[in-house]
């Protein structure tokens, strides 16, 4: 059925059709209800205050390496940008946050 619509719809319409069921379903993304909790969790982790997180994810975080200076120099500004306008962190910093478990709220970490 999916292939049927891919053949018949223009590419942009098909992408909208394919993505529509997921729009708004992840409550942990920017602008969604759990986003502030994700940001607060990240701030605690960047300050080294979440021992459970470090215990569970320490090996991965060591391989990833330290957060960029732009992120860690002023955690208050980073927090504000993540909450209000994360795109202002820049592509490289956002890319690092996008796949990093540091933004997972405490209730979803392993």
Residues 17 and 39 in one domain: no
Residues 21 and 40 in one domain: no
Residues 40 and 11 in one domain: no
Of 30-39, 74-83, 85-94, the range with the lowest mean pLDDT is: 30-39
Task: Provide the domain limits for residue 79.
Answer: 34-108
Residues 43 and 97 in one domain: yes
Residues 21 and 38 in one domain: no
pLDDT in tens, 16-46: 777 665 555 566 667 778 889 999 999 999 9
For residue 85, the 8-state DSSP code is -
Of 12-16, 22-26, 74-78, 97-101, the range with the lowest mean pLDDT is: 22-26
pTM for this one?
0.69
Number of domains in the chain: 2
Residues 5 and 38 in one domain: no
Select from 101, 36, 96 the least CA-distant residue to 69. Answer: 96
Residues 46 and 99 in one domain: yes
**Concatenated DSSP letters for 7-73?**
HHS-HHHHHHHHHGGGTT--TTSTTSTTHHHHHHHHHHHHTT--HHHHHHHHHHHHHH-SPPHHHHT
Q: Which pair of structure tokens corresponds to residue 38?
A: 């994700």
Residues 43 and 5 in one domain: no
Residues 67 and 43 in one domain: yes
Residues 47 and 98 in one domain: yes
What is the b/e burial string over 50-73, where b = at least 16 CB atoms within 10 angstroms of the residue's CB?
beebeeebeeebeeeeebeeebee
Identify whether the C-beta of residue 43 lies closer than 8 Å to the C-beta of residue 75.
yes
The continuous run of DSSP H or E covering 2 comes out as helix 2-8
108 pLDDT higher than 60? no
């Amino acid at each position: 059925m999916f292939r049927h619509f891919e053949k018949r719809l223009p590419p942009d319409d098909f992408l909208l059709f394919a993505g529509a069921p997921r729009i708004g379903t992840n409550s942990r993304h920017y602008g969604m209800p759990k986003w502030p909790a994700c940001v607060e969790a990240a701030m605690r982790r960047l300050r080294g205050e979440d021992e459970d997180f470090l215990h569970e994810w320490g090996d991965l975080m060591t391989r990833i390496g330290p957060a960029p200076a732009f992120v860690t120099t002023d955690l208050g500004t980073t927090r504000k940008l993540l909450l209000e306008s994360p795109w202002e962190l820049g592509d490289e910093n956002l890319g690092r946050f996008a796949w990093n478990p540091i933004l997972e709220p405490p209730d979803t970490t392993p």
